Amino acid sequence: MKIQSVQMEPTDSGWYAALGKQPAAKPLKTDIACDYLVVGGGWMGIHCARRLAELAPQASVVLIDAGRIGNNAAGRCAGFAIDLAHNPRNPHFAEDLRGNAEELHVNSEGIDYIRSAVEGAGVDCDWDEGGKYHSAATKRGRQCLDEMARALDVIGKEYRWLERDEICQLTGSEHYFSALHTPGTILLQPAKYLVNLMKALPENVQVYEKTPLVDVEYGRGEQFCQTPQGTIRTSQLLLCNAAYLTKCGFFPNTAIPVYTYASMTRPLTEEEMQQAGLHRPYGVIPAESFGTTMRFTHDRRLFLRNVYSYARGFRSTRSDVEAAHSKHVIAFERRYPQLAQIGYEHSWGGLLVMAHNGGMVFGQLADGVYGAAFCNGTGVARGTAFGKALAEMALGQQSRSIDILKGRPKPDRGYPAFLTEMGVRATTRYRFWRAGLET
Ligand SMILES: Cc1cc2nc3c(=O)[nH]c(=O)nc-3n(C[C@H](O)[C@H](O)[C@H](O)COP(=O)(O)OP(=O)(O)OC[C@H]3O[C@@H](n4cnc5c(N)ncnc54)[C@H](O)[C@@H]3O)c2cc1C
């Protein structure tokens, strides 16, 4: 079966560029065989490969990615490893006590697994336990925070209110007037983590970047996989390739492809930091879900993310990035008028995969074939846990996370594609407009 080719992004992410020049990719250029082949080096795939190699040290594990690990959606994200990835601003959030407990369990396992790479294998990623500040710039935003506080009370999760002075002091910006801090979320430099983890993978993992899976023959006992310059025969195939999993013969036409975009400045000088009142790294999540995510990074850059847009065929173009960039310029001016003239060094987009019903792929898909996909927008902690659990499942292990993930709804087809596209385009425009000064 032929697999749709993966779009290479029109621009590099600022996180990846900040790492400096990377050694050239080593694509597969020969025919090989292995025990386990993992396709996709995002949060799911890289942790799946790591776990397989840890649990089966005698086995050969191969990890392939169509592009560069760290410059994919995983490395392009905002770097919040979120413990409670449900949307607590949703009025029904607190009612689902069991769902919340399960979500927390899965995400905490993901965070712990990332932590073990940082502490155990020395994977440098600017690890920061600062938590996240849900910050409001409008009356509606403050109402969203009130709803969120009520939900956190019901589920017994810790939080703390910050009034105007404190959030202004933290961000150096007068844009926000109220915030709610929740501990438990980790901030990291996503590209740095992924690139360093790739180097620290156990010896029985071989990584081939710029090696897309272009054709596959599923069989009993052996899967035959083709890449542009070499073939791979494997006993077990683990598909962790996000939206493209739906092009591999499983869950076709279920992925709603949405892009979101980010921009990043160059490192600020001491003088600019003083001018802007910036003292230490922070991570701000908008009170309104269509608002702007902000970070001030360990290497003194301002990072900003907003805009969601439908990405037909899983593709985004340079002009899409430019359109998002112009919205980012406005958001920068709103928050740091005294700095905005420095502009951004990098702007980029990344693909999110969602389903109509919030469903996710996890588990065995066919004889010798496993899969994990559909982050529904938050994939750092959750994706790590999915990848780890998938490896454990393929090796016949049992765990609470495996049971939870197996019980989750699978993605469904929803409406015909053209209706979904119209609906997503209309909704994202309306909600961006409604978010107003939160953007
Ligand atoms: C700007 C932005 C900000 C975000 N911020 C956050 C955040 O702060 N916190 C959070 O939790 N989430 C965030 N996300 C979402 C997060 O990035 C995704 O949920 C996450 O990357 C999904 O992980 P994944 O492993 O499922 O897929 P991906 O990261 O998309 O990885 C899939 C990999 O599969 C590869 N692939 C696909 N097809 C093939 C093929 N045929 N052959 C070989 N390889 C293939 C791709 O190249 C890719 O590397 C953000 C996303 C963006 C774009």
Bridge partners of residue 285, in order along the sequence: 134
* CATH number, domain with residue 64: 3.50.50.60
Residue nearest atom 10 in ligand 1 by C-alpha distance: 378
Is 421 contained in some domain? yes
- Dihedral Cα 170, 145, 155, 377, nearest 10 deg: -80
Contact 303, 295 (CB under 8 A): yes
For the CA of 211, the nearest atom of ligand 1: 43
Q: Which residues contact 231 (CB under 8 A, 6 or more apart)?
A: 31, 32, 224, 225
Is 79 contained in some domain? yes
For the CA of 353, the nearest atom of ligand 1: 19
Residue nearest atom 14 in ligand 1 by C-alpha distance: 77
Q: Which H or E run contains 73?
A: helix 73-76
Q: How far apart are CA 215 and CA 227, in angstroms?
A: 7
Strands 178-182 and 132-136 come out as antiparallel
Ligand 1 center–CA 339 separation, angstroms:
31
What is the total count of domains within the chain? 1
Is 372 contained in some domain? yes
Give me the amino acid identity at 343. Answer: G
Domain that holds residue 118: 14-438
Shortest CA distance to 385 belongs to which of 364, 404, 359? 404
Helix (H, G, I), strand (E, B) or coil at 214: coil
Per-residue pLDDT tens listing for the chain (439 residues): 999 889 899 999 999 999 999 999 999 999 999 999 999 999 999 999 999 999 999 999 999 999 999 999 999 999 999 998 656 656 666 667 788 889 999 999 999 999 999 999 999 999 999 999 999 999 999 999 999 999 899 888 999 999 999 999 999 999 999 999 999 999 999 999 999 999 999 999 999 999 999 999 999 899 999 999 999 999 999 999 999 999 999 999 999 999 999 999 999 999 999 999 999 999 999 998 899 999 999 999 999 999 999 999 999 999 999 999 999 999 999 999 999 999 999 999 999 999 989 899 999 999 999 999 998 788 999 999 999 999 999 999 999 999 999 999 999 988 888 899 999 999 999 899 999 999 9
Is 5 contained in some domain? no
Is 8 contained in some domain? no
For the CA of 74, the nearest atom of ligand 1: 21
Q: Is the pTM of this model over 0.85?
A: yes
Is 271 contained in some domain? yes
Ligand 1 center–CA 103 separation, angstroms:
19
For the CA of 64, the nearest atom of ligand 1: 43
Q: How far apart are CA 237 and CA 373, in angstroms?
A: 14
Tokens coding 344: 């951004």
Is 126 contained in some domain? yes
Ligand 1 contact, 378 CB (< 6 A): yes
Ligand 1 contact, 79 CB (< 6 A): yes
Residue nearest atom 53 in ligand 1 by C-alpha distance: 350
Is 73 contained in some domain? yes
